[in-house]
C-alpha cells in the first residue's frame, strides 16, 4: 500500500465478497492468468519495462499543449510563459538525444551484423583467431571486465 501512496496512484477497493481469492483452489492456468492480470495493473518495476521513447514523446505532447494554452492566455505572467517554453525546449533536446542514441545503436547493430557475415566467409582457423583477439580487445576496452 505504501508504494501506491508514493506513486500517487489509488486502486479501487473491491467489494468484500471479491477481496479474497483462495489461491489453492485455482488451477495453474487460472493462477497464470491472475498473475498476468495483476502485473497489467501494477506500475513498471524496472526501467527496461518503460518505453522511454513513448514516455518522452507523451511528455513533449503534454508540454506542447500546456505551452499552447499558456501562450494563448494573456493573463499568464511572462516569466511563467518563458518557463513553459524552456520546458518544451528541454524536452525537444531530450528527444533529439534519444533519436541520436537510437540511430547510433541501430548503426552499431548493422555494423556488427555485417562484420559477422564477412567473417563467416573466412576459414575456420581465421574465424577463431579473429574472435579470440576480438574478445581480448573488447575486454580491455571495458577495463578488463
Residues ≥6 apart with Cβ < 8 Å to 42? none
Q: Quickly state the pLDDT bin for 43 (edges 50, 70, 90).
A: confident
What is the C-alpha to C-alpha distance for residues 36 and 47, in angstroms, rounded to an integer?
Answer: 19
DSSP letter at 121 equals T
Per-residue pLDDT reduced to its tens digit, 86-135: 988 888 898 888 888 888 988 999 999 999 899 999 999 999 999 999 99
Cα-flanking dihedrals φ and ψ of residue 10, to 5°? -125, 130
pTM, entire model: 0.48
Mean pLDDT (the chain, rounded): 83
Residues ≥6 apart with Cβ < 8 Å to 8? none
Cα-flanking dihedrals φ and ψ of residue 88, to 5°? -65, -40
- Return the domain boundaries, the chain: 24-141
Residues ≥6 apart with Cβ < 8 Å to 145? 139
Q: Is 12 helix (H, G, I), strand (E, B) or coil?
A: coil
Per-residue pLDDT reduced to its tens digit, 56-81: 888 888 888 888 888 888 899 999 98
Q: Is the pLDDT of residue 17 over 60?
A: no
> Which stretches does DSSP call E strand in 1-145?
none
| Arithmetic mean of pLDDT, 2-27 | 61
Amino acid at each position: 500500500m505504501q508504494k501506491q501512496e508514493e506513486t500517487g496512484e489509488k486502486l479501487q477497493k473491491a467489494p468484500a465478497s471479491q477481496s479474497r481469492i483462495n489461491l489453492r483452489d485455482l488451477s495453474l492456468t487460472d493462477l497464470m492468468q491472475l498473475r498476468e492480470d495483476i502485473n497489467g495493473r501494477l506500475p513498471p518495476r524496472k526501467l527496461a519495462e518503460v518505453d522511454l521513447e513513448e514516455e518522452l514523446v507523451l511528455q513533449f505532447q503534454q508540454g506542447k499543449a500546456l505551452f499552447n494554452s499558456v501562450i494563448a492566455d494573456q493573463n499568464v505572467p511572462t516569466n511563467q510563459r518563458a518557463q513553459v517554453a524552456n520546458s518544451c525546449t528541454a524536452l525537444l533536446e531530450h528527444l533529439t538525444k534519444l533519436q541520436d542514441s537510437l540511430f547510433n545503436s541501430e548503426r552499431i547493430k548493422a555494423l556488427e551484423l555485417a562484420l559477422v557475415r564477412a567473417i563467416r566467409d573466412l576459414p575456420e582457423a581465421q574465424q577463431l583467431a579473429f574472435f579470440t583477439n576480438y574478445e581480448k580487445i573488447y575486454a580491455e576496452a571495458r577495463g578488463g571486465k
